[in-house]
Structure formats: structure tokens, C-alpha cells
Amino acid sequence: MTLLSIDGQKLLLDGAIAFADIERTGIRVDVPYLKSQYATLDKDVLNVEKTLWRTKEAKEWKTRFRDKSSFTSPTQLSHMLFKEWGYFPTKETRKGNAAVDDEALRKVGTPFTTNILRMRKLLKVKDTYILGLLKAQTGGFLHPSFHLHTVTSFRGSSSGPNFQNQPVRDIELGGLVRKAFLPLEPSHQFGEIDYKGNEVVSNACYNRDPNLVAYISDPAKDMHRDVSMKCFLLRKDQIGKKIRYVGKNGFTFPEFYGSYFKNIAPSMWESIAEHKLVTEDGVPLYDHLRAKKISTLRNFTDHIQKVEAKFWNETFPVFAKWKKIWYESYLRDGYFDLLTGFRCQGPMRKNEVCNYPGQGTAFHFLLWSMIQLHRWLTENKMRTKLLGEIHDSLELSFHPDETKEVLQKAQQIMCENIRKHWRWINVPMGVETEVSPIGRSWAEKQKVEIGG
């Protein structure tokens, strides 16, 4: 990791100064709620464990392992599933053993493994998240550290606790944890300002693929909807939010970040069941695909291979060519330079070489914007405070009298001023905002329109 320019040095120094204030301010958490939730989860874990012990599988487990029996032991679980009960292992660990991670257990799909998954989730939220927050808080406040120097791509990180690692995708787990995060004052509002498609934007600044630029620049275009249409052989009017979500996170982003059809297809196929995907005209997605002569994972994998070929050869050929040239340049020189004034060097895998420019630059978009917003809040003696950042988003405690003004200023900085600062940004920037009612938690934020 090397600073390449004066601008890069200034960005890090200004960022460190802003983070010093943000870390000092801290983040308020609801300690009584955390303690109550910890006790509730402890009971929930015990109830699931009691349910497991009443099963015939548990009796066989007890016979095999006696007083050493533990449902949390991967070794014991693997032995029982694949050697005693004869289930077929669908994944392997790096050491070549049968995997018993969540994905593998979902594929087994029995009531017993469903309860094991439930117990795992409850234990994780109880011991990793709830207990972790209780241990880290002091006087009802967290003071996480935000780092600018620990990641090869120059992306930011966090520790003590890791504020960026609070659960999001699991609605149940995320809701339980985020309910503990409160605005600084009971009279304030917890809010979030999120860069829309931040890493897609930053990638376009490097590869300048005209089709990618067009998708970002034209609000009528929807890359993830179009991908979903091709992956699932659907019409535009058949695609709802869930199917679009699977197309976006199951195909588009994995492809952008270096995965390929043999890994993508099984995950997408499983997601159909996991999300209970149904077309907008009411047809279960498995039934729809079956009518299109795609009835097995093997059929679907063959289909996704064809979609992948067209994705790179026809939709984003310039992006594909850029990846090839970029990696060859790294192999020759041993480093590559970010547009924001940093040099990434040292041993890296191909995917890292091609992904780090987008990741690091996207974070620098947020970092520069955060610095400007923090400076403006300070100079204008605003009561609204920045609480932290999570890669593509800024978290704030808004004073209600200032919410609209701060959101408008943030939008100006993040979408307009930044493009004047870095003239090489070749596509529009956008933000999405969510704000909780007065005094309410992070879990209760609602989408708001900034307006003029």
C-alpha cells in the first residue's frame, strides 16, 4: 500500500481528522434492551435445544457420542449426517471433508437440520452481536474505531466493535440487532444516506464500458431487471423485487467480482426455494422454468453458462477487455494505481486485482463526501452529528429541525460537488436516504425523498 499523490495524502489526513471527531461522539445503544434481548435469546436457544433432544436423531446422536454429544460440533454433525444417516454431502471444506455449513444443511432440508440452523442463528445473534455490543459499550455508548490503512484496496474498516459488520441481509437477525442503535438524543432521528450503486459507478470510471455507462446514466434502464429476465427467461412485467434481488446479488455482482457460472448457478437455483420466488403473474419460478424445459440444476447451469457468455461478449465487452488488460499490466508491473491517488501493490489474486479499483475508489467517494459534510456541519454549528460509515453509507443522528437541510446538503456534496472535485467521474451519482421517527432506532428507519 503506497500513497501516490498529494491529493491521496490529503484525503487520508482529512479523513483521520473527521473520524477522530466521529469516534469521540460515539453511537448510543439501548443497554436495557440488549440485556433483555440476551436473556430472551438464551431461553430461545434452550427451547430449540429441547426440541432437538426430543427427536429420534438426537437419541441416535446420544448413543454414538454419549456425554460428549454437542449439536454445535461440526465434526459430530458431519459424522451423523453423512456416515450414520446416509445423506449425500453437497459441499466440501478446503481440507476435503463434507461441509456442514448453513448452505449444506439447507440442502439436507429435514426438520432436524432446520432446527440446527435455527439454533445456530440464535446463538450467533446472542453471542456475537448482542453480547459483543454489551461488552463494547461504555455508559450506553459505543466508540468504534474507523481505519483507513488496514485494507490493501484502501477501503475503510472498523473495530472495537466492528460497526460495519452489523447484520443487514437477514431481516430477523438484523432487526433484533439494529433495534439497539439509537440517535444521540431522544429528540433526534437516526438516519442513513446511502450511495446508490456506488461500486458499479466506480467500476465505470475505470472500464468506461459504454453499455455500463448507459445503464447508470439512463434512469429508464435497469441492469438487474434485464439480467433477471435473461437468467429466468421472464418478461419485464413478470419480475418483482425478490426476483430482481436474486438477479442482482446472485448473478450481476458475482460476475462483476470474478465468479462464474459453475458457482453462480447452484446458488441462484437454491435461492428460488429460499426466497419462495414467484413471478408477478403468480407462477412459482420453478414451475415457470420447468415449462421452459429447465427442470434440474444441471439444465439451469447449462443455461446460466450461455447467459454468462452473452453478458461479457455482448453486453459488457469493453468491461471484459479492460479486466484482461488491467490484470496483464499488474503482472508486468507488480502494482496498479487508483484514480484517487493511491498505489496497490504486492501479491494479489486475479479477482483482487480487478476488484480492488472499484472497491477502493467507491470508498473514497464516500470518504471525501463524509469529510465535506462533517466540515459543513461543524462550521455551521449544526446539532446533527455523523455517527459512522459502512462502506457505501453514512449514518447520522439528525436534529429534526435540520433533517431536510442536512439531507439536501449531503445530496449536493455526494452527487454534484464530488464530480467537480474529481472530473474523471464519468457517470451521474445518486443517493438514497432513510430516516427513523424521532427517538426511534436504526431498525425503524423509513425511506424519505430529499426533494428540492
Q: Do domains 7-26+143-200+358-448 and 32-136 have the same CATH topology?
A: no
CA gap 191, 407 in Å, rounded = 10
The residue type found at 185 is E
Averaged pLDDT for residues 423-441: 97
- pLDDT of res. 452: 61
- pLDDT of res. 132: 95
CA 371 from chain center: how many Å? 23
CA gap 447, 452 in Å, rounded = 16
pLDDT digits (tens, 9 = 90+) for 22-38: 999 999 999 999 999 99
pLDDT digits (tens, 9 = 90+) for 194-232: 999 999 999 999 999 999 999 999 999 999 999 999 999
pLDDT digits (tens, 9 = 90+) for 310-336: 999 999 999 999 999 999 999 999 999
Placement of cell 438524543 in the chain:
185
Q: Where are the domains of the chain?
A: 7-26+143-200+358-448, 32-136, 202-354
Structure confidence at residue 3 as a pLDDT band (50, 70, 90) = low
Averaged pLDDT for residues 381-394: 96
pLDDT above 90: residue 451 = no
CA gap 133, 29 in Å, rounded = 8
Mean pLDDT of the chain: 94
| Domain 32-136 grouped into CATH 3.40.50.300 | no
Q: What is the 3-state secondary structure (H, E, C) of 55-118?
A: CHHHHHHHHHHHHHCCCCCHHHHHHHHHHHCCCCCCCECCCCCECCCHHHHHHHCCHHHHHHHH
- pLDDT of res. 391: 86
Q: Which fold has domain 7-26+143-200+358-448?
A: Alpha-Beta Plaits (3.30.70)
What phi, psi does 346 have (nearest 5°)? 105, 180
